Structure 1
Amino acid sequence: MKEVKIETTLQVYLNIDELPEAIQDLMDKAVKARENAYAPYSKFNVGAAILLDNNEIIIGSNQENASYPSGLCAERTAIYYAGAKYPNAKILKMAVSASSQNKVTNKPIPPCGACRQSIAEYEIKQNQPIEIYFMGKEGKVVKSDSLANLLPLLFDNSVL
């Protein structure tokens, strides 16, 4: 048997004001997108903003459905729209902000597993990492230089 240790390095900012100005703007767009979430069941609103290499910014918010699996997370809403509208553009950065209508979310909330897998698909497709910034409604912001930091043992087309 061989033991394998996997380590991840993330950067933590105390709040949105510590971020570089361009990232503050991107996160502000994610926060505004969060306000457009349709989350009557979970009461959990998420907004995402994506910066493409053509300088376009794509936003998305979670959209729920009474049949839960039919809904879609903010990150996938944004990333799929970016892929549909700008299929040859590379995704450089993604900002995500999540909040609950039931309690204060003051710790960073990362993308869910399904969103991580979807982001991984685009990172692999473009052969370039995607910087991901995520936060709750307030408080600290976490930066990952690549989706691979959040999903180190990812499932990709090499196993198909």
Structure 2
Amino acid sequence: MEKQFRFNYEHYASLEAMPEADRQLVREAERATANAHAPYSEFRVGAAARLRSGRILYGSNFESEVYPAGLCAERSLMFYAEANYADDPIEALAIASRPSERECYPCGQCRQVMVDVERRQQSPMRVIMSGGGTASVVESAALLLPFTFSLKS
């Protein structure tokens, strides 16, 4: 039996067209790229999350000489958030990169962890993927990984 998976997302041809709260979060993610440690790829990624309380948290990628011991910006941010603010759910997470020639999308591991965080906090998080002066937005990380891994049925 053939089935289809479709989802809606927002695309902004310019960041100025975005809601102010999203645009601000993208700016914070762009600032977080300055803290990235990417001596090998020279691809600096920053992430910023807005918690329900309004607090903004940051993450940056970190590359290690002992590959694959590095960590993506999104996962470093989410692990920090879950360890320190588990009772304050992530409402939105923005991703940016430098260089920023195109939108920056999360890797498969980050997508799975985003879904894990949504499950744990029992609420979706808005994911804003920015770059090149544009952005795409989904209302839930689960939309980025339709066939997610789960230990429970």
TM-score by length of 2: 0.95
* Aligned positions of 1:72-91 closer than 5 A: 72-91=71-90
How much identity, in percent, do the aligned residues show? 37
Paired residue total: 153
What is the Cα deviation at residue 148 of structure 1?
A: 1.4
Q: 2:86·2:121 contact (CA, 8 Å) conserved in 1?
A: no
* Aligned positions of 1:91-102 closer than 5 A: 91-100=90-99
Is 1:143 equivalent to 2:143 in the alignment? no
Task: Find the counterpart in structure 1 of residue 147 from structure 2.
Answer: 153
What is the Cα deviation at residue 40 of structure 1?
A: 0.3
- Paired with 2:6 and 2:30, the residues of 1 have a C-alpha distance of 30
Partner AA of 1:9 in structure 2: N
Task: Find the counterpart in structure 1 of residue 61 from structure 2.
Answer: 62
What is the Cα deviation at residue 10 of structure 1?
A: 1.2
CA RMSD of aligned residues (A): 1.2
Partner AA of 2:2 in structure 1: E
Note the alpha carbon deviations across 1:74-109, whole angstroms, 9 max, x for none.
001111111111121111000000233xxxx43212
Task: Find the counterpart in structure 2 of residue 116 from structure 1.
Answer: 111
- Paired with 1:87 and 1:145, the residues of 2 have a C-alpha distance of 20
What is the Cα deviation at residue 139 of structure 1?
A: 2.2
Partner AA of 1:80 in structure 2: F
Q: 2:35·2:60 contact (CA, 8 Å) conserved in 1?
A: yes
Task: Find the counterpart in structure 1 of residue 42 from structure 2.
Answer: 43
What is the Cα deviation at residue 11 of structure 1?
A: 0.7
- Paired with 2:134 and 2:146, the residues of 1 have a C-alpha distance of 23
TM-score by length of 1: 0.91
- Paired with 1:125 and 1:89, the residues of 2 have a C-alpha distance of 11
- Paired with 2:151 and 2:15, the residues of 1 have a C-alpha distance of 36
- Paired with 1:81 and 1:50, the residues of 2 have a C-alpha distance of 11
Q: 1:46·1:61 contact (CA, 8 Å) conserved in 2?
A: yes
